[in-house]
Structure 1
Amino acid sequence: MNINRKEEHERPRPRDGVTVKECGNLIEVRYSVNAPPETVIQKLTAELYLDKRTGEVKAFRHTENRAEDKSSVAQSLCRLRDLINTNVTDPDRVLWVTLTYRENMRDPSRLYEDFRRYRQRLNYYLDKQRQPKCEYIAAAEPQGRGAWHLHLLLLFPDKAPFIPNTEMARLWGQGFTKTKSLKGVDNPGLYLTAYLGDMELTEAVTAGQFQAAHIQEKAAGKAVVKGARLRLYPSGFNLYRCSRGVKRPQVKQMTEGEARQVIRDAPLVYEKTIAVLNSEGETVNIINYRQYNRARVEEETAPAVASGKTEA
């Protein structure tokens, strides 16, 4: 199968079926002209799978690092973005913390064990301060020299408490920490994962993450910002972890007309249409993907509401 980007978008009619995924302020609408093909493989074990077309049991081809398995990486990043956007709708309730090592720590198993102990100390600290416990989303990232660090979102039920950086570093106990605000970021999932995988340049600019230091290339007729650090992830390594209490995105099947009632006045912020081609170059499906952002509406209307002015 080959995929080509279409210049003209293929929009659904009001009665056509679509898939709607709500991730906090983000609403994603996916329309497929033809039904997606049936899954042709069934996983049996970590090593073997069943090819439903032939009935054969085959062995998986394992990769050395995540960069060699771009499909798996793309799915992991998509799930991570969805989790972040679903749970980060009010930046005042979130602490974005980066945890680093003072030495060149390259052991991925130690990374999450150190994080587990940090979570225990953090919960004890919050309890002593009479603050509620928080949920978390943690994403691991290797630095260029190979050392690991963690990007951590601490999700509180109300306004996040102030934790001095010296105290956060003491709780971490492995090196430096840095706490930042996500105020003004209306697509935090895209913003926080932009460096981990290949992205279209238009997406990276929207996320506020494109810098001149990135390598810009042309792929399939579009500018791409390359995720150079993917090769540093071991094969099978989990890019992220989260606590049990984090919210999951809501995915529903409905008509395009019903989807418009969900979208309401949320502005369209991204759209693409692709054609799926078979080995003979024939189009077998066309898929339209749209993303809307409710936060953009709030940003655009907030000044008018505050000043008492409205548009005629």
Structure 2
Amino acid sequence: MGSPPAGPYHRRKGLIGGGGTYAAIGARIWLPPTEIGMMVDRGHDFPASIEANLLEYGPEMWIFRDQPDRLTTRALNSYKGDHRNFQYITPRIRITPKDLASTRIPRPRMLHFICSPTRASTIMSEVRAVQDWYPTTIYEPIPDRCVPEELPALIEVLPSISILSPNAEEALSLLSIPLPPTRASIEEAADRFLQYGVGHERKGWIIVRSGEMGAFVKSLKSEGRWVDAFWTASADDAGRIVDVTGAGNSFLGGLAAGLLLTNDVLKATFYASASASFIVEQEGLPRLSRDKQGHLLWNGDLPQRRLDALVTRHGN
């Protein structure tokens, strides 16, 4: 479920939601459905229209688990001005790495998860318990736990994380850096996280997702680099940004796909930015179609065209 900002208050029911869903779609923009896996708990009230919508993106990517004695997990994104509030309105079911063991993706190469730092530690303990599984881990801290009190738990799990990616407000909040974010304060936050030790032997990356400012990408062994958002605040882009719900999640799904295709974090960030551009153009998920040559179009456009345009914009 989700709803975008429109005027002082806006509410709409019945949209497909969930950070994992948007991340999966962000990856699907670049990869065939057989390369993606997301577990979906299907309660007895799971809407047939939503299932049909998901299947349009490729039935292979969805791993349905029937829960006949439960309601489908639902939540509410509500906006008042620029402030977003999120709350579950039915009980949620947590998914852990152990749940993947009996699926077609028992040991995926990329693992994206959204949770508290303490739960991230539990997830990484389960990953380490699986023999010969060394996934690239993309950790997105859950927004309501991005507070200074959670910083010690985050520092504890950072050595197990390949890529840490909070948004700008979350990064600054964790570190008690004053808001609103600026490029300078975002770069300061990234440096501090890296000094805390992201990744095994401090070889991890920080990507701070910063809305219309773009994304700041850095590791201890690379200079920081800003990658533009595809749609910006320019007059030419006016009206293209309709609803930012799920944009950050789809960014990280696109990042995972880009990493599989390029094995390069900076290059993958361009894929991530292009993925997010399709999510913000409407409420809910982007629409699919095909051109006369049979190429898959997202919102009537080719993802590769947007990727090429973004790379060209950077002079690469």
Structure having the higher Rg: 1
For the aligned pair, the TM-score class normalised by the smaller chain equals under 0.3
Larger % of helix: which?
2
Larger % of strand: which?
1
